[in-house]
Amino acid sequence: MNIYVLMKKTFDTEEKIQVSGGAIEQDGAEFIINPYDEYAIEEAINIRDEHGGEVTVVTVGDEDSEQQLRTALAMGADKATLINIEDDVEDGDQYTTSTILATYLKDQEVDLILAGNVAIDQASGQVGPRVADQLDIPYVTTITGITIDGEQVNIEKDVEGDVEKVQTSLPLLVTCQQGLNEPRYPSLPGIMKAKKKPLEELELDDLDLDEDDVEAKTETTDVFLPPEKEAGKVLEGEIDDQVKELVSLLRTEAKVL
């Protein structure tokens, strides 16, 4: 089975976000594999171990993305592809990323594609479905379980805390939700083996794409941090008076009524 995983590198969850000049400060920040993509990698490895085949992890990123790809290889993926757009694309969006990925995947023999449900940085959740759409294959988002039997695939999907059971077939794209599995961390032998596994690097040219083909469909006009949370207010006095004060505050201060 040919399994592909779509991966994104994101800020380490312990990093503090700082904004300067309308952009998030990236200098010196630590990056990790997007945690939802870790579920995808783990599931891909498990499916390969059960059904045979090969796991290829693909990312659209820059030179530094190699580190996260190596981590995926150390976890147990077989191959990695880095589509490096550092020199070609300045401000991409979900359209950019999904077009690049779909163009790359059109040339591959694909049975199953796994992606994270969302990336923890921009949290659009769009790239997976867009890729499936461009490849014209079915997709299921936020899955928490998957079993494959020949061409037939049984999926458990998280629907706002409930489970929906879906039956579909390969080729297929799924996006992975927390609860699907417990991602392993790379073992030392895995880390040493990852050095020798193939890691292919491509640029837009190699995919016969121009900058214009992938130009963003959206424009980011501003980036800002949420306002700092202020201390709460504790109302005092008789209950009736408190209710009156609360209603008046909601009306005049919070302006929600």
Partner 1 sequence: MIEEKLLKGGSFLVEDVDPDEVLTPESFNDEHKMIAKTTEEYIKNDVWPVLEDLENHEFDKSVTLLQKAGELGLLGIDVPEEYGGLELDKITSSLVTEKMALAGGFSITHGAHVGIGSLPIVFFGNEEQKQKYLPSLATGEKIAAYALTEPGSGSDALGAKTTAVLNEEGTHYVLNGEKQWITNSAFADVFVVYAKIDGEKFSAFIVERDFPGVSTGPEEKKMGIKSSSTRTLVLEDAQVPVENVLGEIGRGHVIAFNILNVGRYKLAIGGVGGAKRALELAVQYANERKQFQTPISSFSLIQEKLANMATQTYANESAVYRTVGLFESRLGQLSKEELNDGSAVAKGIAEYAIECSMNKYTATELLDYVADEAVQIHGGYGFMAEYEVERIYRDSRINRIFEGTNEINRLLVPGTFMKKAMKGELPLLEKAMGLQNELMAMMPETPGDEALEQEKYLVGNAKKIGLLAAGIAAQKYQEKLEQEQELLSNIADIAADVYNMESAVLRTAKAIARDGEEKSRQKLLYTQVFVEETLNNIEAHAKETLIAVEEGDNLRMMLSALRKLTRREHINVIEKKREIASTLIEEEKYYV
Name the site residues for partner 1 (rule: CB under 8 A).
16, 67, 70-71, 74, 185-192, 195
Least gap, CB of 188 to partner 1 (angstroms): 3
CA distance 130 to 96: 10
17 contacts 11 by C-beta, under 8 angstroms: yes
* Cβ-based nearer residue to partner 1, 49 or 210: 49
Least gap, CB of 182 to partner 1 (angstroms): 9
* Cβ-based nearer residue to partner 1, 231 or 256: 231
* Cβ-based nearer residue to partner 1, 189 or 226: 189
Least gap, CB of 9 to partner 1 (angstroms): 14
CA distance 149 to 176: 19
Tokens standing for residue 231: 């201390």
* Cβ-based nearer residue to partner 1, 68 or 144: 68
Least gap, CB of 67 to partner 1 (angstroms): 6
Least gap, CB of 191 to partner 1 (angstroms): 5
* Cβ-based nearer residue to partner 1, 51 or 197: 197
* Cβ-based nearer residue to partner 1, 67 or 218: 67
Least gap, CB of 82 to partner 1 (angstroms): 14
The torsion angles phi and psi of 50, rounded to 5 degrees, stand at -85, -40
